[in-house]
């Protein structure tokens, strides 16, 4: 399965995802600027890395192709919690793995609860705790 696809830069908008330096990022802002009579519109994209939270910048033309990561979201059940790490199980194929608990979710993640995990480029990150 492919981990990324190509899309036209002019189709991007805030809140969508983009690969900058092979790092999946969520687009925070896009500034368009027209150049001379024969030039192409330029896009200045500011995005935030979904795994490390770092700010990334990209400058490209509006008619160029950019890489977009394929992102999947899954609900997983927490099996156990040890410090800042949770052992979670995929409810579809019963795969069990360990994942770091983000700072903002610490204290909310408990065994038996369901969490949403986002996966992109072979990496996983816990997004939120599903309260039922």
The C-alpha atoms of residue 114 and residue 132 are separated, in whole angstroms, by: 8
- Report residue 103: phi and psi, to 5°: -50, -45
CATH architecture, domain defined by 72-130: Beta Barrel (2.40)
Q: Is the pTM of this model over 0.85?
A: no
pLDDT in tens, 65-113: 999 999 999 999 999 999 999 999 998 889 999 999 998 998 899 999 9
4-69 to CATH, choices 1.10.760.10, 3.40.1080.10, 3.30.1330.10, 2.30.30.30? 2.30.30.30
């Amino acid at each position: 399965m492919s981990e990324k696809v190509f899309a036209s830069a002019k189709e991007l908008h805030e809140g969508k995802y983009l690969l900058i330096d092979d790092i999946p990022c969520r687009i925070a802002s896009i500034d368009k600027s027209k150049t001379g009579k024969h030039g192409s519109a330029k896009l200045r994209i500011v995005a935030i890395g979904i795994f490390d939270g770092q700010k990334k910048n990209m400058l490209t033309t509006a008619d160029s192709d950019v890489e977009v990561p394929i992102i999947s979201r899954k609900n997983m059940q927490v099996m156990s919690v040890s410090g800042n790490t949770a052992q979670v199980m995929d409810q579809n194929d019963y795969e069990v793995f360990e994942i770091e608990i983000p700072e903002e979710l610490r204290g909310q993640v408990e065994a038996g609860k369901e969490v949403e995990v986002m996966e992109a480029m072979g990496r996983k990150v816990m997004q939120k705790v599903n309260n039922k």
